[in-house]
């Protein structure tokens, strides 16, 4: 395998290779890829290749096909736009409700702070997969704290669409530090019970995330995609 990094496990290297290809949109979404062929191509055994595929399946990026291999889950540009529009409506409400609940729940606060700390650590290591994993968990705790199961299911479906398409919001114009700061502002507002600030910072975060990704898609949006949402 090219680009081996000393100290990284083979599984993490295969995972990062797959993640890069997903984000670069170089997989055909209607093709079943062989884990054995992947392992042979990268010069590793089947075990780290299989484990890497399973890790990315847990992130919602791949789907395993029994006795055959794996596929990249198809998500259209229109799906991404609609997912971000839904997130722009619902996640600020979820953050506001979480800010109402979190100050009286040490469990919620501890989970949010833990996953944020893991995101910061992942950014230091430039480990995109670990960052995405903890980002998902951070947002899940936030939405669960809002106490609305229907909202949780709707937002999970919307966020799964964006993650399945390989969305990752660090770009040359949006550094790790900037991305962490967005999450820290949300965290602090929720922990402090500041409902208005939590709602505001979450809306900004989703707007910036959507703008970055839709620009990457070169999506032909005639007006600001979030204006009516």
Sign of the dihedral through C-alpha 212, 217, 223, 227 = negative
Residue 94 lies in domain:
77-217
| Same-domain status, 64 and 138 | no
**Cα separation, 139 vs 75, whole angstroms:** 21
Assigned domain for 61 exists: yes
| Same-domain status, 211 and 151 | yes
What was the pLDDT predicted at 3? 43
Q: Are the C-beta atoms of residues 27 and 62 closer than 8 Å to each other?
A: no
Q: What is the DSSP letter of 194?
A: -
What was the pLDDT predicted at 36? 94
The total domain count for the chain is 2
What is the CA angle 116-120-137, rounded to 5?
35
- Asked if pLDDT for residue 82 goes beyond 80, the answer is yes
pLDDT band at 165 (very low <50, low <70, confident <90, very high): low
Assigned domain for 228 exists: no
| Same-domain status, 112 and 165 | yes
- Asked if pLDDT for residue 220 goes beyond 90, the answer is no
Please give the residue that has the higher pLDDT: either 78 or 69. 69
List 62's β-bridge partners, or say none: 72
Least confident of 24-28, 119-123, 181-185: 24-28
pLDDT band at 215 (very low <50, low <70, confident <90, very high): confident
Q: Single out the residue of 92, 114, 112, 91 nearest to residue 103, CA to CA.
A: 112
pLDDT band at 213 (very low <50, low <70, confident <90, very high): confident
Altogether, the residues listed in the chain come to a count of 229
- The CATH code of the domain that includes 21 is 1.10.10.10
- In terms of Cβ atoms closer than 10 Å to its own Cβ (0-12, 13-18, 19+), residue 79 is middle
Q: Single out the residue of 165, 158, 157, 170 nearest to residue 217, CA to CA.
A: 165
Assigned domain for 87 exists: yes
| Same-domain status, 101 and 201 | yes
| Same-domain status, 50 and 81 | no
- The CATH code of the domain that includes 120 is 1.20.120.530
| Same-domain status, 115 and 142 | yes
- What tens digit of pLDDT does each residue of 58-75 get? 877 788 998 899 998 777
């Amino acid at each position: 395998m090219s680009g081996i990094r000393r100290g990284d496990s083979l599984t993490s290297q295969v995972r990062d290779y797959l993640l890069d290809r997903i984000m670069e949109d170089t997989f055909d979404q209607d093709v079943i890829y062989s884990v054995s062929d992947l392992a042979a191509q990268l010069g590793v055994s089947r075990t780290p290749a299989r484990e890497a595929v399973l890790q990315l399946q847990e992130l919602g990026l791949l789907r395993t096909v029994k006795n055959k291999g794996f596929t990249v889950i198809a998500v259209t540009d229109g799906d991404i736009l609609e997912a971000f529009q839904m997130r722009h409506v619902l996640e600020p409400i979820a953050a506001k409700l979480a800010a109402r609940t979190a100050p009286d729940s040490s469990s919620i606060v501890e989970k949010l702070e833990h996953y944020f700390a893991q995101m910061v650590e992942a950014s230091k290591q430039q480990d995109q997969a670990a960052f995405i994993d903890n980002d998902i968990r951070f947002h899940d705790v936030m939405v669960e704290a809002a106490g609305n199961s229907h909202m949780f299911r709707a937002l999970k479906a919307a966020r799964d669409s964006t993650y399945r398409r390989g969305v990752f919001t660090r770009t040359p114009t949006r550094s790790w530090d900037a991305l962490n700061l967005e999450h820290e502002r949300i965290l602090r507002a929720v922990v402090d019970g500041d409902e208005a600030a939590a709602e505001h910072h979450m809306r900004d975060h989703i707007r910036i995330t959507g703008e970055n990704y839709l620009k990457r898609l070169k999506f032909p949006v005639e007006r600001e995609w979030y204006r009516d949402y």
